[in-house]
């Protein structure tokens, strides 16, 4: 079976080489042969606008993005994002906090 070389997921229909879009990350990818996919991508049912968001029942927000990165195993990306966000609150040298 041909799967994407980036994530090990199946390609979107009709499959490689007609479609080279990885079903996991949505990027163009080359193919590798494997017995089965390394990752199974589950299609989520369409939700009404009131229920859309990264975490169902909440409007998209930064915390829900952190949770999404955590539960999808994207810790490195989560760490980078957290440190970048924390940089906004870093105390500069010579400045006392109140």
pLDDT digits (tens, 9 = 90+) for 45-74: 555 555 555 555 666 677 877 887 888 888
Q: Coil, helix or strand for 60?
A: coil
Q: Which residues of 16-29 are buried (b: 16+ CB within 10 A; e: fewer)?
A: beeeeebbbeeeeb
Section 33-49 average pLDDT: 65
CA–CA separation, 73 and 6 (whole Å): 15
Q: Coil, helix or strand for 23?
A: coil
> Alpha helix (H) ranges present in the chain?
62-71, 75-86
| Mean pLDDT taken over the chain | 75
Q: Is 83's pLDDT higher than 60?
A: yes
Section 19-29 average pLDDT: 78
pLDDT of residue 37: 74
pLDDT of residue 26: 76
Q: Is 44's pLDDT higher than 60?
A: no
């Amino acid at each position: 079976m041909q799967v994407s070389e980036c994530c090990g997921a199946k390609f979107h229909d009709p499959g490689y080489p007609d479609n080279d879009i990885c079903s996991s990350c949505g990027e163009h990818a080359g193919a590798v042969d494997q017995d089965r996919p390394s990752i199974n991508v589950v299609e989520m049912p369409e939700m009404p606008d009131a229920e859309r968001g990264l975490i169902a029942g909440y409007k998209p927000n930064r915390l829900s993005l952190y949770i999404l990165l955590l539960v999808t195993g994207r810790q490195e990306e989560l760490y980078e994002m957290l440190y970048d966000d924390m940089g906004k609150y870093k105390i500069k040298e010579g400045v006392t906090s109140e």
